[in-house]
Amino acid sequence: MTTTLPAYDEVVARYEPVIGLETHVELGTNTKMWCGCPTDFGGEPNTRVCPVCLGLPGSLPVANKAAIEATVRIGLALNCSIAQWCRFARKNYFYPDMPKNFQISQYDEPLCFDGYLDVEVNGELVRIGIERVHLEEDTGKTLHVGGATGRIHGATESLVDYNRAGIPLVEIVTKPIPGTGALAPEVARAYVTELRDVIRSLGVSDVRMEEGSLRCDVNTSLNLPGEEWGTRTETKNVNSLRSVERAVRSEMLRQAAVLGAGGRITQETRHFHEDTGDTTPGRSKETATDYRYFPEPDLVPLAPDPAWVAELKAALPELPRLHRRRLQEAWGLSDADMQSVLNAGAVELIEATVAAGATPAAARKWWLGELSRRANETGVELADIGATPAQVAELQGLVDAGKLNDKLARTVLEGVVTGEGSPTEIMTARGLEVVSDTGALTAAVDEAIAANPAIADKVRSGKVAAAGALVGAVMKTTRGQADAQTVRTLILERLGAQG
């Protein structure tokens, strides 16, 4: 379809978006939800399985207490009420990656419900309502072989790996979020970012979108001001924070184009494409499966002891947002500076770099400067750029020790990012260390003075600024491997001038 999309400004001037997010988080428990199989990512297909997670006849589930605890903690961190009594339910549908052909989930009795999460967008707090937080099991993975698309249609063979089947999965559903206007894409991204940070701070999941331990579905609709909310679409395959923002924006533009042409939005699942940044239709929800939910008879109801819940609540860590406020003060940043740190996704990276010995200013300089630039250029998350906070701190240590100057440090950092090794290793291997042998440097200085007698005279006569040209000449002969400040001092000494 080659419909021309309207301009974003026009879309938000005409329509009001309502968004909603459903997030799935794989818990980092040692064992699966209903059995003792390990949960580690990877592994040869179908090696982390047993009669229970393969759904063999006669097998029965037993709930993993650690997963229930993790879910309650997530609920508490999201200001939810915790159910005093609730049940698991079966969601029935046939699909080969689901061993029992039903998923044990929760239906009308979620473990946690009615909470909120405050997120900051452009320095303003936006309160996102949380509808529910519930616990369910993950499915296996299907690999379709022989088709052009890698999807089931057209495939000649399908292979299933049940290693992931039965890993505990927490689903977090927001209430509909109206009233965000042009900021809707940013609010969506800020929410998922904040949610990820909260869950990470609880230590219950590694929440890595690229490995699928954090997955996000984005609901979007548009309506004219004063009218009822529009028909929503659900966008899947949104696999990065950046994609969350892009998916909302793309879907707003698409829907506006359809509506603008007098069309009607179909309630459907859409598939987001990372490469093109747009969405294509998936299965239509209008012919949706009837899941025939009913209470799971193989499990007893959950009735969390209120005293235990109170204990968990008291032991919650500091919320990331408050933690950031504290860091901002410690780092002495303005709101605007902190916002740019946040936008770059650099808070934890800077924090870790400072913890590894760098000053806040230096840490911020590297992460927001060189590294952010590279991340933007290559389209990866800053955290996945290839440099660790420890390496950045080590690099700054070399600068502080006078072994690298700023320019050399950038070259070394490039080596770090491309995986050549640690900063010290790269500096040594590539011979990038600052020429600090004063004998060699003095010789280079003398050479530069001899080669530029007119400039040398100017400096001798007190025109200190003219020394810059001599410094440049020395840097040239040392191929940049000298410390400019040291060179300048040496020149002024040689010429008897005062810096």
Partner 1 sequence: MTDVTAMTATQIAGLVATGAASAVEVTQAHLDRIAAVDGRVNAFLHVDTEGALAAARDIDARRAAGEELGPLAGVPVAVKDVLTTKGVPTTVGSKILEGWRPPYDSTIVERLRAAGTVMLGKTNMDEFAMGSSTEYSAYGPSRNPWDTDRIPGGSGGGSAAALAAYEAPLAIGSDTGGSIRQPGAVTGTVGAKPTYGGTSRYGLVAFSSSLDTPGPCARTVLDAALLHAAIGGHDPRDSTSIPAPVPDVVAAAKLGATGDLSGVRLGIVTEFGGEGAEPGVMATFREAVDTLTKLGAEIVEISCPHFRYALPAYYLIAPSECSSNLARFDGVRFGLRTGDDGNRSLEEVMSLTREAGFGPEVKRRIMLGTYALSSGYYDAYYGQAQKVRTLITRDFTAAFERVDALISPTTPFVAFPLGARTSDPYQMYLADLFTIPSNLYGGPGISVPCGLSEGLPVGLQVMAPTMADDRMYRVAAALESAVGTFTPPAL
Instruction: Give me the least distance between CB of 27 and partner 1, in Å please.
Output: 19
Rounded to a whole number of angstroms, the minimum distance from the CB of residue 105 to partner 1 is: 13
The correct pick among 143, 300, 316, 330 for binding partner 1 (CB under 8 A) is: 300
Contact 137, 168 (CB under 8 A): yes
Contact, 230 vs 265, CB < 8 A?
A: yes
Shortest distance, CB of residue 294 to partner 1, whole angstroms? Answer: 6
Handedness of CA 224, 225, 226, 229 (dihedral sign): positive
- Cβ closer to partner 1: 53 or 347? 53
Angle at 93 between CA 92 and CA 99, to 5 degrees: 90
Nearer to partner 1, 15 or 102 (CB): 102
Helix axes 467-477, 438-451, angle to 10 degrees: 120
**Inter-helix orientation angle 184-202/241-260, to 10°:** 150
388 sits near partner 1 (criterion: CB under 8 A)? no
Closer residue to partner 1, CB minimum distance, 51 or 281:
51
Of 40, 298, 384, 400, the residue at the interface with partner 1 (CB under 8 A) is: 298
In the window 11-70, what residues touch partner 1 (CB under 8 A)?
A: 51, 54-63
Check if the beta carbon of residue 344 is closer than 8 Å to that of residue 333. Answer: no
Q: Which segment (99-107, 167-175, 197-205, 365-373) binds partner 1 by CB under 8 A?
A: 99-107
What's 345's DSSP letter? Answer: T
| In the block, residue with structure tokens 């060179």 | 487
Residue recorded with tokens 């200085």: 445
Structure tokens that stand for 291 in this block: 């899941």
Among 81, 101, 122, 267, binds partner 1 (CB under 8 A): 101
Residue 301 CB, shortest distance to partner 1, in Å, is 10
Q: How many residues bind partner 1 (CB under 8 A)?
A: 31
Shortest CB 300 distance to partner 1, Å: 5
Integer Cα distance of 426 and 395 in angstroms: 10
Whether 364 contacts 341, CB under 8 Å: yes
- 127, 151, 283, 292: residue in contact with partner 1 (rule CB under 8 A): 292
Q: Which is nearer to partner 1, 165 or 216 (CB)?
A: 165
Comparing CA positions, the residue from 421, 428, 388 lying closest to residue 404 is 428
Quick one: residue 19, left, alpha or beta (phi over 0 = left, psi -120 to 50 = alpha)?
beta
The reply on whether position 294 binds partner 1 by CB under 8 A is: yes
**Residue 373 makes contact with partner 1 by CB under 8 A:** no
Host H or E run for residue 412 = helix 406-417
Smallest separation, CB 348 to partner 1 (Å): 39
- Residue 40: strand, helix, or coil: coil
User: Are the beta carbons of 471 and 485 closer than 8 angstroms?
Assistant: no
Closest distance between partner 1 and the C-beta of residue 80, in Å?
Answer: 25
> Of 121-180, which residues contact partner 1 (CB under 8 A)?
152, 156, 158, 160
What binding mask, one character per residue, do residues 239-278 give for partner 1 by CB under 8 A, x or -? ----------------------------------------
Distance in Å, CB of 267 to partner 1, minimum: 16
Q: Does 297 bind partner 1 (CB under 8 A)?
A: yes
Tokens 């230590």 appear where?
203
What is the nearest approach in angstroms of partner 1 to the Cβ of residue 32?
14
Distance in Å, CB of 293 to partner 1, minimum: 8
Binding part of the chain for partner 1, among 298-306, 392-400, 409-417, 432-440 by CB under 8 A, reads: 298-306
Q: Where are the beta strands (DSSP E) in 224-300?
A: 233-238, 268-272, 279-284, 294-295
Element (H, E) at 455: helix 453-460
Interface residues with partner 1 (CB under 8 A) are: 51, 54-63, 90, 92, 94, 96, 99-102, 152, 156, 158, 160, 290, 292-294, 297-300
